[in-house]
Structure 1
Amino acid sequence: MFILLAKKKFYAAIAAILGLTMGTIFFMGTRTITVGQNNIQAPLEKVNVAQNVIALTVNVDWGEEQIPKMLEILEKDQAKATFFLTGRWADKNSELVKEIAAKGHEIENHGYSHPHPDQLSVEGNNQEIMKTEKIIERTIGKKTTFYAPPYGEKGESGVRAASEAGYTTVLWTLDTVDWQPASNVDLIVQRVVNPKTRFGVKPEKKGAIVLMHPKPNTVLALPIILEKLKQEGFSFVTMEELLSLKIDN
């Protein structure tokens, strides 16, 4: 009992120093430390697996003209991906949503209007997620269960809203940063095939989650990425498949 009280006082002291409330969540990689009684699931940044598998994810709020090209490349290389769609995009591109699903790729939730989740309340984030869930379920007959927060924001309100709605929040291990104008094909390939952290250490690619967007340079980089990673012995799975392969630490 004494140890438990000491831990609570310790976390409370941290919260006080940082000017945070007792409901604040501290993210350490994929683990979550909670202060008080507010236990929610931490975002996924990587999955511990035994197999040489990687999950390719594509966040979509624009770029519909690039999607058919991406689907063609993925099909040619027998690779599966997870497409996180905003509700407003899915609503305007329902036939393309159906095509993505028909090709065997996973379709998941990217919120409705691509706001900054950290600037919304829990209820506001819940509305974004649920509105998109209904559109996608109406379109392909399947409920979404994974949520990729816009801008990769992982503040409490967005993560809590997703967790309380039964979702797993997904971030990434390797970011192509392909949305930046300076991201040419070589840079995009390097950030996935030969990645380095800011400390110069190569992160483990087994069980990695790769973040992409439907950009022209990404389309050009994709077959190169797939070929190089296949040469390293990797195969490409959806988020659902990746979670099914998870092993305990």
Structure 2
Amino acid sequence: MKKLSMFAFLVIAAWFSVNNPLVDTYVSSLKGNALTVGEQENSLYQSIVKNAPTYEIPPSDAKIDRVWKAIPGYNGIKVDIDASYKNMKKNGIFDEKKLVYKQIEPAIHLKDLPPSPIYRGHPDKPMVSFIINVAWGNEYLPEILATLKSHQVTASFFLEGNWVKNNPDLAKMIVSAGHEVGNHSYSHPNMQKLNAYQTRDQMVRTNEVIEAATGKKSVWFAPPSGSYRDETVKIAAELNMKTVMWTVDTVDWQKPTPDQLINRVITKIDNGSMVLMHPTESTAKSLNRLITLIKEKGLQISIVSDLMSEERMVK
């Protein structure tokens, strides 16, 4: 009888707890919270989708410009919706600082263009390059290399073949310091006056001696004094090299003072600029301050290959 009474009591207690208005309210609140979280997550995802186009930039195709000749392409950026959602999910609110991007390549690349000289990088890329043509000036190279190293800056050194033959250790020093080397002809002739055979010979012999001394293949050709013909550029392309000129000239061979050289560069330098210089005393004495001022303009300094890369610089 006692067992029966206890069983009845438990049944009544269970019925009462399930049908208790307080319990109903608590359960309803749990259900309501679950729906709210789901709605919040869905709202966040949709917010990212809605806002994404505001932050996206289309890629820019490589092209032949009427003035600047060949100009490399530049990657665009697109919001990675799922990665961005995952990045913001913890806080549950849209935060543009937590957007995740992926780069979108252009349809036309520098390699797709017909042979054409290159005078600058893409105008939207906040990067510049130092083009240092070397056929003489050994006494100033150590100081220039030391200054570049102190600023953790790399440059593109265009080497004359005959110079490399006579100075293989200096050529190796340049490469071992992390710099890029390119072809600057073998004997510094006026390339505009050479026939096809002579042009090819100048380039091939220089490529051979640079690779023998440094182990590096040249992918860029800088004609001495900027002198070339269309045929010069085509022959370089046949040898898997693109022809590089410059955007800003230091005119350091005229022995300007550091202030003159720096003013000449800083007043003209901009996104994509390539700065021509040589291992002269003027450049050696100006380089430290010049690098500092260029960086203060928000420009990164790197080799020509980096400048010509379509990789977008994301802040």
Q: How high is the TM-score relative to the length of structure 2?
A: 0.63
Q: Contact 2:132/2:155 (CA < 8 Å) preserved in 1?
A: yes
Identity of aligned residues (%): 33
1:224 and 2:263 aligned: no
| TM-superposition CA deviations, 1:45-77 (whole Å, max 9, x none) | 011154421111100100011111100000001
Task: Determine the C-alpha separation between the residues in 1 that align with 2:279 and 2:226.
Answer: 17
Q: In structure 2, do the counterparts of structure 1 residues 106 and 119 end up closer, same or farther at CA, with 3 Å as the change threshold?
A: same
| TM-superposition CA deviations, 1:112-163 (whole Å, max 9, x none) | 0000000101221111011000001011111101000001013223222212
Aligned twin of 1:105: 179
Map 1:61-80; keep pairs closer than 5 Å: 61-80=135-154
1:240 and 2:305 aligned: yes
Amino acid of the residue matched to residue 232 of structure 1? Answer: K
Q: How high is the TM-score relative to the length of structure 1?
A: 0.78
Q: SS of 1:210's equivalent?
A: strand
Of Structure 1 and Structure 2, the greater helix share is in 2
Give the ranges of 4+ consecutive aligned residues of structure 1 lying more than 2 Å apart after TM superposition: 26-29
Aligned twin of 2:162: 88
Q: Contact 2:70/2:119 (CA < 8 Å) preserved in 1?
A: no
1:189 and 2:262 aligned: yes
Q: Contact 2:69/2:119 (CA < 8 Å) preserved in 1?
A: yes
1:29 and 2:71 aligned: no
Task: Determine the C-alpha separation between the residues in 2 that align with 1:71 and 1:60.
Answer: 13
Q: Contact 2:192/2:232 (CA < 8 Å) preserved in 1?
A: yes
- Of 119, 141, 152 in structure 1, the residue corresponding to residue 226 of structure 2 is 152
CA shift at 1:241, angstroms? 1.1
CA shift at 1:98, angstroms? 0.6
1:137 and 2:211 aligned: yes
- Structure 2: gaps spanning 5 or more residues: 1-64, 72-112
1:52 and 2:126 aligned: yes
- Greater C-alpha Rg: 2
Q: Comparing 221-230 with 237-246, which one deviates more in the overlay?
A: 237-246
Q: Contact 2:250/2:265 (CA < 8 Å) preserved in 1?
A: yes
Aligned twin of 1:16: none
Task: Determine the C-alpha separation between the residues in 2 that align with 1:227 and 1:156.
Answer: 37
Task: Determine the C-alpha separation between the residues in 2 that align with 1:51 and 1:116.
Answer: 32
Q: Comparing 235-244 with 46-55, which one deviates more in the overlay?
A: 46-55
- Structure 1: gaps spanning 5 or more residues: 1-25, 33-38, 196-203
